Amino acid sequence: MPTLAGTKLDKYDMLEEVGHGGMAVVYRALDGTLHREVAVKVLHAHLADREESRLRLQREAIAVAKLRHENILEIFDYSGTQAGESYIVTEFIHGPTLREWLDDDYTPRPAVAALVVHRLTLALMHAHKGGIVHRDIKPENVMIRREDGCIKLMDFGIAQILDNQKLTM
pLDDT given for residue 162 in this prediction: 60
pLDDT given for residue 108 in this prediction: 81
- Half-sphere exposure of residue 64, counting CA atoms within 13 Å on the CB side? 32
Which residues face 152 on adjacent strands?
143
CA distance 127 to 143: 17
Q: If 0-12 CB within 10 Å is exposed, 13-18 middle and 19+ buried, where does residue 19 land?
A: middle
SS3 state of residue 97:
strand
pLDDT given for residue 105 in this prediction: 78
* Length in residues, the chain: 169
pLDDT given for residue 79 in this prediction: 93
Q: Is 147 a catalytic residue?
A: yes
**Beta strand ranges found along the chain (DSSP E):** 8-9, 12-20, 24-31, 36-43, 75-78, 87-91, 132-133, 142-144, 151-153, 160-161
| pLDDT tens across the length of the chain (169 residues) | 689 999 999 999 999 999 988 888 999 999 999 999 999 999 888 887 888 888 888 888 888 898 999 999 999 999 987 888 899 999 999 999 999 999 997 788 899 999 999 999 999 999 999 888 888 899 999 999 999 999 999 988 766 666 544 444 4
Residue tagged active-site, from 17, 37, 52, 147: 147
- pTM of the predicted model as reported, rounded to 2 decimal places: 0.87
pLDDT given for residue 138 in this prediction: 93
